[in-house]
Structure 1
Amino acid sequence: MSLERRHDREFVRTFFTSPTAVEGEDDSAKMIRRAVQLRGMQAPDVWVPDNEDATAPSMRDEGAENIISVISEHGAEFPGEIHPRIVWHRDSPATRYQCFEHLLEIADPEKDAIEHIDGFVIPEVGDIDDWKKADEFITIVETEHGLAEGSLAMSVIVESAEAELALADLREEMGKPSNNLERLFLLVDGEVDYTKDMRAITPTGGLPPWEELRHNTSRGASAAGLIAIDGPYDDIRDIEGYHERMTDNQAKGMLGIWSLTPGQVKEANKSPLPPKTGSWLLDVNGREVELDADDGRYVYDGDDVTLETTGDDRYRLLIGGDERELDGDELTEELLDLASYIPSLNDIVDSMEEFEAAKEAGKGAIAMKRSATLLVDSVEVEISNDRMWDEATYQAAQTPITLFQDVYENRPDQHEELEELYGKDVVDRAMVVG
């Protein structure tokens, strides 16, 4: 079965939530009023005025009113997509009814907000039949207000074992004439409630890593033509940990993450994009260490690797507790095995352009050479390797380029920052390659 993709975005880097109503404030809408004015790298790809967990139950009716007020006034200028989160629960008919009431209220065209809203986020879903209930509510709301059927996207938060198991049913269920599940857009992990649903315990009381959940969500999104988003990283000052989490996610195909602050949004907007400059890494006892670039050389500055000459073309290499006596060729091979390269956007564009030229000339595969001078304890070592590029390699290299193109096409407010980062020439080439 071929699924019809209804969304222009192929990638979403950032999913940013803001409480819709803050108790005890002169302006209860101050948080969403502030968020809707974010621009550039601080503005998310998807902004979520959050009328569920981030807003007290007693304030949610006012929160729905605030969504209408703020989005009707400022929504047209917001550079990303707008997807309010509203209440839902698989086990509570009363909560689902409140969802229906808020949907009807917010989507009323006479209130001038819905024209700026791209869809809704549904939390606490259960099995696939529960997803269909939410979809049917949105279909009814579209019909009631004369909106085009399927025009409102639906994203769900995977917060239960039932919802995780439903991921495997998506391909079979989407596209059936009895539902509008093709309106689905994002699959978002909610590890906090998922931990509660699984009755999981850790010694520290912290969240388990839930590697399997993130893998299953990413796989479900890929199979169904959707976009996977990781849950919130609540230690907002731990930028290094946030980056590690994003890097781990990106290796699973999950390029988007929940952001709790504009600072996290900025980090997450940049994280999946290729770097400005390439860099070399050295594997030191299972830990990758970035080498410092210095006048065309890449310098290891640490205590875990030592290298010294012991005679004519003889060297002693010590890594951790492992000491080896090597000749020049053996040393080169050893360091080549330990070194890896992170290509810049310009590197990726160069390689793709070279392969495209080779294809035009009738070649199916070419060797790409990369070399560097490593400096360890004042000893210079030249390393070089050849990587074979064929059509499969080319297609794999397209993912970061397609991501960049998607960002550039959908976020004109970030053009200036991207051109300052990479240079206009590189940006122009990246937009046409592939």
Structure 2
Amino acid sequence: VMLPKVQTAAQVQWLDLLLTQIEEVMGFEVGRIGVEAQIENALGLSNVKEIAFASPRIETIIFGPADFMASMNMPSLVVGALNPDYPGDPFHYVLFKILEAARARGVQAIDGPFLQIRDVEAFRGVAKKSAALGYDGKWVLHPGQIDAANEVYAPRQEDYDHAELILDAYAWHTSDEGGLRGAVMLGDEMIDEASRKMAEVIAGKGRAAGMARTAAFEPPAG
């Protein structure tokens, strides 16, 4: 269930209680229905961390840019676009704060829609900003935006291949056969446990996108 315009944790808790009552009356598994909370105004952003932790049903935190812009009195009619009079990205803080709350809670962070549905290149440009931060995806309003979204939120082929290579290499080097080493060289690059965690993110996104690797790890001879 997507809950729009969430402003406080209490609103999520109210929905949790309502869903629990419905599940109990209908004989459904209690807690099975998830909740996606959409942050669309200043109060919601101020309380986003409390909202993220308000219920175990929370699965996703979503940014709603249009209502948010109205809430902040932003002088623009183009949803999510940069303002040439502002020397930076006015949405960076908003996106990062939502992402921080989502990751602290261990749930998805999803960017909101881009309303100029015929301008796919502009959609792609806006999507790249949240993808670079680590967002899991973005709403689409038209079938023409789907391919662009899949392209932007999936890793590049070379990055996916390298991530899989890091995972295989690190797994081998930390094994008995590989010498139980925690930090090793992969070409000119040192890899360690932190490298493995970073590679897991990229590899996971690639696998979710159905990507196929083009190179395999070969253990060093001898």
TM-score (ref. length: structure 2): 0.81
User: Which residue does the alignment assign to 2:193?
Assistant: 391
Q: 1:185/1:429 Cα in 2 relative to 1: closer, same or farther (>3 Å)? A: farther
Query: Secondary structure of 1:213's partner?
Result: helix
Report what 2:28 is aligned to. Answer: 147
Hey, what does 2:65 align to over in structure 1? 191
Once the two structures are overlaid, the 10-residue window that deviates more, 214-223 or 128-137, is: 128-137
Which among 260, 270, 288 is matched to residue 151 of structure 2?
A: 270
User: Is contact 1:128-1:163 (8 Å) kept?
Assistant: no
- Structure 1 match to 2:119: 238
Alignment match of 1:206 (pick from 53, 56, 78): 78
Question: Which among 204, 212, 216 is matched to residue 402 of structure 1?
Answer: 204
- Paired residues for 1:58-69 under 5 Å: none
Structure having the higher Rg: 1
> Is 1:368 equivalent to 2:186 in the alignment?
yes
Relative to 1, partners in 2 of residues 1:224 and 1:358: Cα closer, same or farther, differing over 3 Å?
same
Aligned counterpart, 2:85: none
Distance in 2 (alpha carbons) for counterparts of 1:364 and 1:256: 33
Note if contact 1:158-1:187 (Cα within 8 Å) is conserved in structure 2.
yes
**1:6-85 correspondence to structure 2 within 5 Å:** none
Question: Which position in structure 1 is the counterpart of 2:172?
Answer: 357
Measure, in 2, the Cα distance between the counterparts of 1:156 and 1:273: 24
Residue 118 of structure 2 aligns to a residue whose secondary structure is coil
Letter in 1 for 2:186: M
CA distance in 2, matches of 1:156, 1:170: 8
2:140–2:146 CA contact under 8 A, matched in 1: yes
Name the CA shift for 1:197/1:141 in 2 (closer, same or farther; >3 Å).
same
What secondary structure is seen at the aligned counterpart in 2 of 1:259? coil
| RMSD after superposition | 2.5
Structure 2 residue 42 is matched with structure 1 residue 168: no
Structure having the higher helix fraction is 2
TM-score (norm 1): 0.44
Tell me the distance in 1 between the aligned counterparts of 2:201 and 2:67: 32
Amino acid of the structure 1 residue aligned with 2:195: T
1:226 paired to 2:107? yes
Give the direction of change, closer, same or farther, for the CA distance of 1:428–1:146 in structure 2 (3 Å limit): farther
Unaligned runs of 5+ in 1: 1-119, 175-180, 279-342, 370-385, 409-417
Deviation track 1:348-380 (CA, whole Å, cap 9, x = no partner) reads 2223222222222222222233xxxxxxxxxxx
The residue number in structure 2 matching 1:286 is none
CA distance, structure 2, for counterparts of residue 272 and residue 135 of structure 1: 30
How far is 1:427 from its partner? 8.1
For 1:359, the aligned partner's letter is T
Q: Report the structure, 1 or 2, having the larger strand content.
A: 1
Cα drift, residue 221 of structure 1: 0.5
Letter in 2 for 1:215: F
Q: How far is the alpha carbon of 1:215 from its aligned partner?
A: 0.9
Alignment coverage as a number of residue pairs: 205
CA distance, structure 1, for counterparts of residue 128 and residue 9 of structure 2 = 30
Pick the aligned partner of 2:3 from 92, 115, 122: 122
Offset of 1:132 from its aligned partner?
1.6
